[in-house]
Structure 1
């Protein structure tokens, strides 16, 4: 059993953003008991150009050109801090065919490793635990080059279905999983799939920033008194996982209820088919800290995902974010949601979904509200971080 004082997480997502990210939440929690260095999203030269031209949001142009520090500290939990480092500009190679991609990959990885080692020396990070956040391509190229004590592959989606990662990520993931010390997934379905390749595969499900989202309940006492019509809400990115047919049926057959999407819309059919209805509201993404007041106006929430091979592997972040505020949740049976039996009703057809939503609007008994809040509290990121620690402490 090893004790890891320092953790380096190579992320596949930016630290900042308009939505909660599993890997970021975990690193914030782990920073309470460990020194944590988060390697931020590896922006390419193309990203830099688009950022300079104002065509791409979220690109840290000043940092990438050396006008601001690449290494900063961010707030963790309970007074802790996380080091967040913006890596050097990468070559855009993901679009290349396999042979060309693999020829240029060592250039990107070598540049990143050289500068990361300097940061590690500056911070005194030695024999660290490396957590790779869903980037097996870069992980393979970096393996064994950071004087690491152990490496964990943190897999929170099915990479072979992801449009951006499936071509090269699908090639690299099996070999990478065989060579790391452990794999941690966010759903039972993912664990079962990855365990075929790496026997040391574990499941730590997504959690919730309970202190933040539990604010919804208190805010709702005031917000709902000013709400004229009931509102059913959907929080987060709305993409091809959303069953538009089911939502449209609910919108059409429940004209006395408003349906609000809070977040980015990535599936055109959602706006094309639902935008014509007067009881559909589209609200742009908000910083996480601004979400509780929006959620407080909701009467019920929904997770109307299609049922397919992709969604089968999902344990949705939003389910516990809804529950932390005491809000009723209705979901399709897209994945194994047995953890929520008795608290989150499932509906498999458009007609059943609408009927279950109608019931949810009246599911306001104090004991039911408290059951939802208690379930979310048990699924907090603080508890998930403890589960994570049990696994890597055994390596």
Structure 2
């Protein structure tokens, strides 16, 4: 493939949001080295109507209607910038049966391609590398349509299990992987799975915004109190979306047998059973999502952290963002052995039963020796997004697209 100096990233994630997003963090880092255009979430006509009626939050109604410029510039890293473009309104097709879905997909893809060509001309993007963030359905329809130098499929979840893409994504992904130049996954389990279809498959694990989350350690050392925690009680925290991946049996056992400890969930609760079963306990605290920049003071109020995921085929493919976010603050981590976590041997504790998890948390609450704290921070620093961007660049060279 020919050389390139620009990247167009197309995915299923909005640029803005209440949590750290792997693809957004990565594009910020890569923008230091390359020009980057990020194609924002492809909102549908249904989203537009719900947003205009005030029934759906964070829908960019004005830019979707082209009442304001859909192309904006956002801050990257080290003074760099990223172009972010809001696509035109898409038809809602994900719920449709295959034949009708595939027919209308051509309409959506055509609108997106036409809009992208105009933007590419405006900002002088020629022969870009396309990085497709977990959208093989749209990606297959776009192949070869943007005079691209090459295409990389960035896979961070098992699409056949993920509810939001399984219906059609599972049909499109195998063929898409065969036709792209390479696949980059975020876990070793995913790499092993996707390599069956595409031999040029590599693993670059999720990173951490180390400058942001290392502030947690600084706040702890300054003994700055968390605004939502009681300094007299130890707090075990969970950061991020709490959904059906959480093993509620394990958490409920810990909450019930550790009444002297507060358990704090920071983020959106998507699994109703979590609030139904845990909300009655006086030592459980639910804190709504916060913008990433506002997270360090909250995490500074934690004594230990947890990743109590169920162990199944879906979680086996996960490399969670939160693990390095915890470690960057020097916080102890207790996790179930839901995936391949060999990188963290000796750094985090693993426990697979309710009793073992509670025991591990008790130990974690006392695991605060300076050398242990430093080992956690050093691990997170080595896993920063800046280092992950280096790994991406190395793969570009292997694929002869640099």
Match of 1:353 in 2: 357
Tell me if the contact between 1:4 and 1:393 (Cα under 8 Å) persists in the aligned partners.
no
Tell me if the contact between 1:10 and 1:40 (Cα under 8 Å) persists in the aligned partners.
yes
Listed as ranges, the matches of 1:237-256 within 5 Å are 237-256=241-260
Listed as ranges, the matches of 1:1-395 within 5 Å are 3-221=3-221, 222-223=223-224, 227-395=231-399
Could you report, residue by residue, the CA deviation over 1:200-256 in whole angstroms, capped at 9, with x for unpaired residues?
100000000000000000111313597110000000000000000000000000000
SS at match of 2:36: strand
Task: Provide the C-alpha distance between the structure 2 equivalents of 1:127 and 1:318, rounded to a whole number of angstroms.
Answer: 35
SS at match of 1:25: helix
Could you report, residue by residue, the CA deviation over 1:302-347 in whole angstroms, capped at 9, with x for unpaired residues?
0000000000000000000000000000000000000000000100
Task: Provide the C-alpha distance between the structure 2 equivalents of 1:27 and 1:15, rounded to a whole number of angstroms.
Answer: 10
Tell me if the contact between 2:154 and 2:184 (Cα under 8 Å) persists in the aligned partners.
yes
Could you report, residue by residue, the CA deviation over 1:143-190 in whole angstroms, capped at 9, with x for unpaired residues?
100000000000000000011200100000000000000000000000
Tell me if the contact between 2:72 and 2:83 (Cα under 8 Å) persists in the aligned partners.
yes
Q: CA deviation at 1:2?
A: 5.2
SS at match of 2:78: coil
Q: CA deviation at 1:58?
A: 1.1
SS at match of 1:393: helix
TM-score, normalized by length of structure 1?
0.99
Q: Which runs of 5+ in 1 are unaligned?
A: none
Instruction: Supply the RMSD in Å over aligned alpha carbons.
Output: 1.0
Task: Provide the C-alpha distance between the structure 2 equivalents of 1:123 and 1:255, rounded to a whole number of angstroms.
Answer: 58
Q: Which runs of 5+ in 2 are unaligned?
A: none
TM-score, normalized by length of structure 2?
0.97
Could you report, residue by residue, the CA deviation over 1:97-152 in whole angstroms, capped at 9, with x for unpaired residues?
00100010000000110010000011110011000000000000111000000000
Task: Provide the C-alpha distance between the structure 1 equivalents of 2:54 and 2:302, rounded to a whole number of angstroms.
Answer: 35
Tell me if the contact between 2:324 and 2:383 (Cα under 8 Å) persists in the aligned partners.
yes
